[in-house]
Protein backbone atom coordinates (compact mmCIF):
# COMPACT_ATOMS: atom_id res chain seq x y z
CA UNK A 1 0.00 0.00 0.00
CA UNK A 2 1.36 3.44 -0.95
CA UNK A 3 1.91 5.93 1.87
CA UNK A 4 0.68 9.45 1.13
CA UNK A 5 1.56 12.62 3.01
CA UNK A 6 -1.19 14.00 5.17
CA UNK A 7 -2.90 16.97 3.55
CA UNK A 8 -3.42 20.07 5.70
CA UNK A 9 -5.29 23.31 5.01
CA UNK A 10 -3.96 26.29 6.99
CA UNK A 11 -6.41 29.21 7.03
CA UNK A 12 -6.67 32.69 8.52
CA UNK A 13 -10.36 33.44 9.17
CA UNK A 14 -11.62 36.99 9.45
CA UNK A 15 -10.02 40.37 9.08
CA UNK A 16 -6.86 39.54 11.01
CA UNK A 17 -3.96 40.85 8.94
CA UNK A 18 -1.17 39.11 10.82
CA UNK A 19 -0.09 35.88 9.17
CA UNK A 20 3.48 35.36 10.30
CA UNK A 21 2.44 32.58 12.70
CA UNK A 22 0.33 30.84 10.05
CA UNK A 23 3.22 31.01 7.60
CA UNK A 24 5.64 29.60 10.19
CA UNK A 25 3.24 26.73 10.89
CA UNK A 26 2.68 26.07 7.18
CA UNK A 27 6.45 25.95 6.57
CA UNK A 28 7.10 23.75 9.61
CA UNK A 29 4.41 21.30 8.51
CA UNK A 30 5.84 21.21 4.96
CA UNK A 31 9.30 20.60 6.40
CA UNK A 32 7.80 17.73 8.43
CA UNK A 33 6.52 16.03 5.27
CA UNK A 34 2.93 17.27 5.11
CA UNK A 35 1.22 18.55 1.99
CA UNK A 36 0.13 22.06 3.01
CA UNK A 37 -2.38 24.38 1.36
CA UNK A 38 -2.22 27.91 2.82
CA UNK A 39 -5.33 29.91 1.94
CA UNK A 40 -3.93 33.36 2.74
CA UNK A 41 -5.37 36.26 4.70
CA UNK A 42 -8.95 37.47 5.18
CA UNK A 43 -10.77 34.18 4.62
CA UNK A 44 -14.49 34.01 5.33
CA UNK A 45 -15.90 30.84 6.86
CA UNK A 46 -17.47 30.10 3.47
CA UNK A 47 -14.10 30.46 1.73
CA UNK A 48 -12.52 28.08 4.24
CA UNK A 49 -15.35 25.60 3.66
CA UNK A 50 -14.78 25.84 -0.11
CA UNK A 51 -11.05 25.15 0.38
CA UNK A 52 -11.90 22.07 2.45
CA UNK A 53 -14.38 20.85 -0.17
CA UNK A 54 -11.77 21.27 -2.93
CA UNK A 55 -8.70 20.00 -1.09
CA UNK A 56 -10.15 17.25 1.17
CA UNK A 57 -7.65 17.89 3.98
CA UNK A 58 -6.82 15.40 6.68
CA UNK A 59 -6.67 18.33 9.13
CA UNK A 60 -7.83 21.96 9.05
CA UNK A 61 -5.59 24.37 10.97
CA UNK A 62 -7.02 27.79 11.81
CA UNK A 63 -4.93 30.73 12.99
CA UNK A 64 -6.73 33.70 14.52
CA UNK A 65 -5.48 36.72 16.41
CA UNK A 66 -8.35 39.16 15.85
CA UNK A 67 -10.51 38.29 18.84
CA UNK A 68 -13.36 37.06 16.61
CA UNK A 69 -12.68 33.39 17.43
CA UNK A 70 -16.00 32.86 19.25
CA UNK A 71 -17.90 33.98 16.16
CA UNK A 72 -15.80 32.65 13.28
CA UNK A 73 -14.64 29.26 14.54
CA UNK A 74 -18.10 27.96 15.53
CA UNK A 75 -19.39 29.14 12.14
CA UNK A 76 -16.66 27.16 10.35
CA UNK A 77 -17.57 24.04 12.36
CA UNK A 78 -21.25 24.57 11.53
CA UNK A 79 -20.51 24.85 7.79
CA UNK A 80 -18.29 21.76 7.80
CA UNK A 81 -21.03 19.74 9.50
CA UNK A 82 -23.70 21.06 7.14
CA UNK A 83 -21.68 19.84 4.15
CA UNK A 84 -20.83 16.43 5.63
CA UNK A 85 -17.20 17.27 6.42
CA UNK A 86 -17.40 16.71 10.16
CA UNK A 87 -14.75 13.99 9.85
CA UNK A 88 -12.16 16.71 9.16
CA UNK A 89 -10.44 17.47 12.48
CA UNK A 90 -10.07 21.19 13.17
CA UNK A 91 -7.36 22.70 15.35
CA UNK A 92 -6.88 26.36 16.18
CA UNK A 93 -4.07 28.59 17.29
CA UNK A 94 -3.61 32.20 18.20
CA UNK A 95 -4.53 34.50 21.02
CA UNK A 96 -7.50 32.70 22.56
CA UNK A 97 -8.26 32.96 26.29
CA UNK A 98 -8.38 29.66 28.19
CA UNK A 99 -12.12 29.91 28.94
CA UNK A 100 -12.86 30.48 25.24
CA UNK A 101 -10.52 27.62 24.30
CA UNK A 102 -12.46 25.26 26.56
CA UNK A 103 -15.75 26.34 24.98
CA UNK A 104 -14.35 25.96 21.45
CA UNK A 105 -13.11 22.47 22.26
CA UNK A 106 -16.56 21.59 23.64
CA UNK A 107 -18.02 22.76 20.29
CA UNK A 108 -15.70 20.47 18.32
CA UNK A 109 -12.33 22.16 17.84
CA UNK A 110 -9.95 19.29 18.58
CA UNK A 111 -7.26 21.43 20.21
CA UNK A 112 -6.58 25.12 20.81
CA UNK A 113 -2.92 26.07 21.01
CA UNK A 114 -1.52 29.37 22.13
CA UNK A 115 1.74 31.23 21.83
CA UNK A 116 4.75 29.13 22.74
CA UNK A 117 3.41 25.87 21.31
CA UNK A 118 6.30 24.23 19.50
CA UNK A 119 6.08 23.44 15.81
CA UNK A 120 7.12 19.86 16.67
CA UNK A 121 4.09 19.54 18.98
CA UNK A 122 1.80 20.88 16.25
CA UNK A 123 3.27 18.52 13.65
CA UNK A 124 2.79 15.54 15.98
CA UNK A 125 -0.81 16.54 16.68
CA UNK A 126 -1.55 16.96 12.97
CA UNK A 127 0.04 13.58 12.23
CA UNK A 128 -2.04 11.91 14.95
CA UNK A 129 -5.31 13.55 13.86
CA UNK A 130 -4.59 12.81 10.19
CA UNK A 131 -3.99 9.14 10.97
CA UNK A 132 -7.15 9.01 13.08
CA UNK A 133 -9.22 10.53 10.24
CA UNK A 134 -7.82 8.17 7.61
CA UNK A 135 -8.47 5.14 9.81
CA UNK A 136 -12.05 6.27 10.41
CA UNK A 137 -12.63 6.84 6.71
CA UNK A 138 -11.12 3.45 5.84
CA UNK A 139 -13.52 1.82 8.28
CA UNK A 140 -16.59 3.48 6.74
Q: How many domains does the structure of the chain reveal?
A: 1
- pTM here? 0.96
The answer to whether residue 101 sits within a structural domain is yes
Which CATH number belongs to the domain containing residue 74 in this structure? 3.40.50.280
For 16: left if phi > 0, alpha if psi spans -120 to 50, otherwise beta; the answer is beta
The answer to whether residue 1 sits within a structural domain is no
The answer to whether residue 30 sits within a structural domain is yes
Q: How far apart are CA 130 and CA 128, in angstroms?
A: 5
Condensed to tens digits (0 to 9), the pLDDT of residues 48-78 reads 999 999 999 999 999 999 999 999 999 999 9
Residue 108 belongs to domain spanning: 7-139
For 64: left if phi > 0, alpha if psi spans -120 to 50, otherwise beta; the answer is beta
Condensed to tens digits (0 to 9), the pLDDT of residues 69-117 reads 999 999 999 999 999 999 999 999 999 999 999 999 999 999 999 999 9
Q: Which pLDDT band, with edges at 50, 70 and 90, does 1 fall under?
A: very low
Amino acid sequence: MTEYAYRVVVAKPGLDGHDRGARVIARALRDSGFEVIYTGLHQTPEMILAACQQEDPDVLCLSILSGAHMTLLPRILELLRAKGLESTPVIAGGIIPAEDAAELEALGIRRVMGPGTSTAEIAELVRSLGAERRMALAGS
